[in-house]
Every structure is written in structure tokens, then in C-alpha cells.
Amino acid sequence: MNIKEKVKNLPLTPGVYLMKDYKGTVIYVGKAKSLKKRIQSYFQNSAAHPQKIKKMVANINDFHVLHTDTEFEAFMLECKLIKELKPLFNKKMKSHLSYSYIAINMDGTFRKMAIVSEKSDDGGTIYFGPYTSPIYVKKAIENFKEYFKIDCLQPLKGSPCLNYTLGKCSGLCLGRSGVKQYNRIVERFITFLQGSHAGILDELEQKMNHASEEFQFEEAAKYRNYMKSFSILLYKENMIQFTGGNKNIVVVEWINERTLKIFLIKGHKVIFSKEYRPEKFSQLTVEIRDTILESFQQCEKRKSAVIGKEELDEAQIIYSYLNGGHARFIVIPDEWLDGSENEKLDASINQLLKA
């Protein structure tokens, strides 16, 4: 059977596909909400494809598919297989560069911000990340310095730097009160990244709307760009904090009118999944409760988990899935896992199933 005939027989269901070359080597792994539509797209309207796609298609001799019940599982399986197989064209098509962290050194007279590729054991430095694109991080920090006018060229010089004369520096170069003001602004940035001070975005939105009302569209566009770059940092940091919190997460996704799937997630790992066709919700609630208690009790009890470069992709997939509206979830408190709060647990499960 040739490739086109093989594609015709594919289902319109989720899954992962592995593209193979003439030697049978997997050269690309991808995921799809609809396997048939996605794989067909490679062999249709090929003239409009980017050069990288054209080159990959030219090397395809066969493909293999792995079916999943949900798109979420396809995402997770794709991520796992790419790490295991390291296909040639997944590397070539990877859009981001190396991972990076925002490092803020709290020691010394003033707070020093930097972009680094690795964390160190320096106790005086706060790290945020990892982030998947150093370019976005660099731009966000530049925008932050520009918006708050703290882009000092010669800190603690004792006389105004060039940016101070241009209105881009609030006076870190001068010392004294300029240092205090600079440190206050950087500390505000820290609380923003920690998720406890989102007022910066509200402030920018108000200024953007005001500029638009005054027909100052260039100014409004500048505030919009600030919001976008700050939001990217905040999203990534919220994702890392949520999945790194090692929460006990129960997810329900209805596959069709009669079938649902339960996922149990611990932090950034799926520890259990099963498909159910419920006839009586009361019986299903008890079964799920017992599974929850058994599965989460077996996990190591840690208040938080470190999300490093290796875990970032899975963490991002899980965070996006939970916040994407395709499934409903609840977080089970650790204190419920000893079996003493079964009534509360059952009530939460019932609410989740019937929503």
C-alpha cells in the first residue's frame, strides 16, 4: 500500500505519527487532533509548504501512527518520543533556542539582573525560569527597563550617565536616592514574577486604552508590546509554580457522550489514566476515590518539585491543558489522602463528574 492509500484509511481521531525515511529511520514525530487531516496536509498543496517541510516530505517513505483517546495524551506521547528518538527534522524545526533563566542578584548595593543558561548555588541570587526563548526574555527585560526608566549605563558612577540625560535612567548612576528607587522597581518586578503583583499589567492596559482614546496609536502600540512581553514571562512563571507545586490533580475529560477518561497528575507527571463508561455515578465515585487515595499515597510527599529543562516541556503541556477548557480538574489537598476526609473527596469527585 502506497502512502496516499495509507492516509485515506486513517481515522479522524487523535494520535501521534512517526515519519520514516527509506532506511526505516524515524525522521519526524508529530501529534494531531485528527491524524488523517494532519498527515494529509503534508502531501497536499506542497508548493505552499515552508522549505523545511518540503525537505522532510521529500525524505518520507512511510509512516506509523499511535492512537490516543485524547489530544492531551497525543501531546504527552509526542514529547516523550521526541526525547527518546531525537528525530532529525524535529531538531531542525525546533523554533526556540536554548533554555534560559532570569537571575537577580540581591547582594550588593543594587539588584543586578542578568539572563543565564544555568542556575548556580549562589544563595544571594533569585532565579526565574527556565524559559524556552532567550530572545523573548531579553526583550522583556529591555522593555521593563525602558518602561520604568532604569536602563542605567554606568551604575554608581557619581555623575549622570547618557541615558539619564535622555530620560531613560532614573538615577542609579548618581547613587543615594537613585539606588533606592532602582531597587524598589526591581523588587516590584520580582513580586510580579512571583505572581503576587499583577498590577503592572493593569497599569499598562489603562495607559494603552487612554492613549488609544487620545488617538496616540504609536504610544498605545508601545504599551501593548510591553504587556505582551511581560505576560509571556508571567505565564511561564505561573506554569512553573503551578506544576512545581507538586499538586494532586484529578482531571476528567469526556471523550464522547458515554465515555470519559480520568487522569491523575502529580505536579508535572501523569501517574494514572483510565477510560470509564459510567452507568451509576455513585459506584464510579467510590472507584475513583479508591484509585486517587492509592495512587497519590504512593507518590513521594514533597511540597514542591524542581522544574528543570528536562521537565519543562511536560509541565507546559499539562499547564496548557488544564487551562485550555477541554477538561475539568480539581486539586486534592494532601490532608485528604489519609482517608479521613472521604466525604469531602466524594463530594468533589461527584461535582467534577457531573459538571
- Alpha-carbon gap, residue 113 to 136, rounded angstroms: 15
Torsions phi, psi for 128 (to 5 deg):
-130, 140
pTM: 0.69
Same domain, 17 and 32: yes
Q: Are residues 77 and 121 in the same domain?
A: no
Burial group, residue 269, by CB count within 10 angstroms (0-12, 13-18, 19+): middle
Q: How far apart are CA 145 and CA 192, in angstroms?
A: 14
249 shares a domain with 239: no
- Do residues 344 and 293 touch, judged by C-beta distance below 8 A? no
More confident residue, 284 or 169: 169
Rounded Cα distance, 339 and 293, in Å: 7
Instruction: Tell me, yes or no, whether 33 and 89 share the same domain.
Output: yes
Mean pLDDT across the chain, nearest whole number?
Answer: 87
| Same domain assignment for residues 266 and 322 | yes
* Three-state SS at 139: helix
Across the range 174-203, mean pLDDT stands at: 88
The DSSP bridge partners found for residue 231 are: none
DSSP assignments along 330-355, one per residue:
EEE-GGGGGTTTHHHHHHHHHHHHH-
pLDDT of 96 reads: 43
More confident: 321 or 243: 321
pLDDT-derived band at 100 (thresholds 50, 70, 90) equals confident
Q: What percent of the chain has pLDDT over 70?
A: 93
Top-confidence residue, 115 or 4:
115
User: Which one has a higher pLDDT value, 238 or 15?
Assistant: 15
| Domain end call among 243, 266, 293 | 243
CA 52/CA 50 separation, integer angstroms: 6
CA–CA separation, 228 vs 333, rounded Å? 34
Distance CA 201, CA 228 (A): 9
Domain containing residue 89: CATH number: 3.40.1440.10
> What's the domain count of the chain?
3
Cell 499538586 belongs to residue: 247
What local confidence, expressed as pLDDT, does residue 95 receive? 46
* Whether residue 337 has pLDDT greater than 60: yes
Residues 323 and 300 in one domain: yes
- What does each C-alpha distance from 130 to 3, 98, 108 come to in angstroms? 40, 10, 25
Looking at the structure, tell me whether residues 266 and 239 fall in a common domain: no
Question: Hey, what's the cell of 308?
Answer: 528543570
Residue 92: band (very low, low, confident or very high) from pLDDT cuts 50, 70, 90: low
* Per-residue pLDDT tens over the stretch 141-166: 999 999 999 999 999 999 999 999 99
Residue that terminates a domain, selected from 243, 261, 292: 243
pLDDT exceeds cutoff 50 at 97: no
Helices (runs of H) and strands (runs of E) counted in the chain: 13, 10
Same domain, 112 and 229: yes
> What is the percent of the chain with per-residue pLDDT over 90, rounded to a whole number?
47
Q: What is the mean pLDDT of residues 323-328?
A: 79
* HSE-up (13 A, CA, CB side) for residue 170: 17
User: Which residues does residue 15 pair with via DSSP β-bridges, in sequence order?
Assistant: 32, 67
Q: What is the span of the domain harbouring residue 223?
A: 100-243
251 and 196 in a common domain = no
- Model pLDDT for residues 197-246, shown as the tens digit of each residue: 668 888 899 999 999 998 999 999 999 999 988 888 888 777 777 777 78
Judgement on whether residues 118 and 192 belong to the same structural domain of the protein: yes
Taking 70 as the threshold, does the pLDDT of residue 63 lie above it? yes
Q: Same domain, yes or no, for 216 and 192?
A: yes
Of 243, 265, 298, which residue constitutes the final position of a domain?
243
Q: How far is the C-alpha of 108 from the C-alpha of 152, rounded, in Å?
A: 16
Q: Are 226 and 159 part of one and the same domain?
A: yes
Q: CA 343 to CA 355: how far, in whole Å?
A: 18
